[in-house]
Amino acid sequence: MSDAQGAVPPRLPHPPVFLPGLALFLDLDGVLAPLAPTPDAVGPDARRTAVLARLTQVLQGRAAVVSGRTLAEIDRISDGAARAASGVHGLERRRDDGALLRTTPSPAIGQALQAFHDFAADRPGVLVEDKGLSAGLHFRQAPTEGEAAKRLATDLAASTGLILQPGSMVLELKTPGADKGTAVRAFMQEPPFLGATPVMVGDDLTDEAAFEAAQALGGFGVLVGAPRSTAARYGLPGVSAVLDWLEVVAADAQMEARYEA
């Protein structure tokens, strides 16, 4: 995944649309929903909800949202269309049958939240997010605070044992024990995903573990956004292109199901 002498990687090819036996894993922000100034600014969208509902139906449940957001936030933004889902970077997961699995939060999350709140108190635009299993420090509205935020988060990770998870204009300290890659692997060991070909669609560094997991299990990753060093095999330019592609994938999967019937 390294680039020679810092060269910009070429744009990845468009992913195929005819994918028999597909299992889809989809990030939320930057993939199914545009990035927004604050986490709360992202809301439900009729097209997104329809695409997720149709994919779940035609893939016979083999579609899951795999996000850094909590399951409650995934449900709010997807308007309940994400039947199978993983939240907080794999630390909580809802299986297709509705069963919930959740890691016990680290007691150090409270310490991280307090330090983040102290940091944000005199820095307008810096936001703190409490996900229970993790603490997030957002600086999208205060980009000049990014370096100081990174120093703080790095020091806290070293002193608390929490895992530092960088994202798009956000730094997250999370309970150890899981990531998006472990979430994909766990889903793939259970019905209805068992035996399918996994495809992970994501946009940032938090998705790389899931790209690698999908590839190791016989599938591939799809990177959304600008080209960069990545384990993904294919690419799409943005959210609109993702939804366009998913609609075609769903239509082809429906035709495949009719043919097999």
Q: Give the C-alpha distances (Å, rounded to integers) separating 226 from 10, 42, 68, 115.
A: 10, 21, 20, 33
**Angle subtended by helix axes 146-160 and 108-120, to nearest 10:** 160
Q: From the candidates 27, 29, 75, 207, give the one annotated as an active-site residue.
A: 27
Q: Which strand (E) or helix (H) includes residue 236? A: strand 234-236
Residue linked to tokens 């939060």: 105
Q: Tokens in use for 134?
A: 């993790």
**Which is nearest to 34 in space by CA: 175, 241, 198?**
241
Characterize 135-168 residue by residue with b for buried, 16 or more Cβ atoms within 10 angstroms of its Cβ, and e for exposed. Answer: bbbbbbebeebbeebeebbeebbeebebbebebe
Rounded CA separation 221/211 (Å): 5
Any catalytic annotation for residue 27?
Answer: yes
DSSP for 103-155 reads: PPPPTHHHHHHHHHHHHHTTSTT-EEEE-SSEEEEE-TT-GGGHHHHHHHHHH
| Residues marked as catalytic | 27
